[in-house]
Structure 1
């Protein structure tokens, strides 16, 4: 399943976040595939799209950075996946 992961940090966490990211690359655990990641310019925030079959790996990754950032995560669907769900919903609501 794909997830949208968003993070936001406060100015005092900037230097420790830079140091940790430079040391680790911010890579997720092996059971979480990073599909893409984007960082906001001028803010300590960003978004990543990840895919995993084991949400515990996603939880572990967020916890590794939880002392520096606040996170929101949500399941994500492609247009095709959402289209299938909408079609099924339309068929059952008639």
Structure 2
């Protein structure tokens, strides 16, 4: 499944978050594949798209950063899946 995580840097934590990222700690944990990561141009956060079938692995990855980032994650679907569901319930 695909999971989108948005993150915001906690107040006072930008130096620590940047140091970890530059040290390579932004790599996903075992059981999680990084599809892509995008950063806000103001440096305050961004979002990440992962693929994983393991909620436990996703939780472990979030815990690595919980002290410096506020993270919110949701399972997401692509346009084809969303369109099919919309057509079933609201379309013709």
TM, length-normalised to structure 2: 0.89
Q: Deviations over 1:10-58 (max 9, x none)?
A: 3410111111111124011121111110001123200011110111111
Q: CA RMSD in A?
A: 1.7
| Local SS of the residue matching 1:47 | strand
CA 11–90 in structure 1, closer or farther in 2 if over 3 Å, else same: closer
Which segment is superposed worse, 81-90 or 64-73?
81-90
| Displaced runs of 4 or more, over 6 A | none
Measured in 2, the distance between the counterparts of 1:25 and 1:61 equals 10
Which consecutive unaligned segments of at least 5 residues does structure 2 have?
A: none
Instruction: Say which one has the larger Rg.
Output: 1
Scaled by the length of structure 1, the TM-score of the pair is 0.87
Unmatched runs of 5 consecutive residues or more in structure 1: none
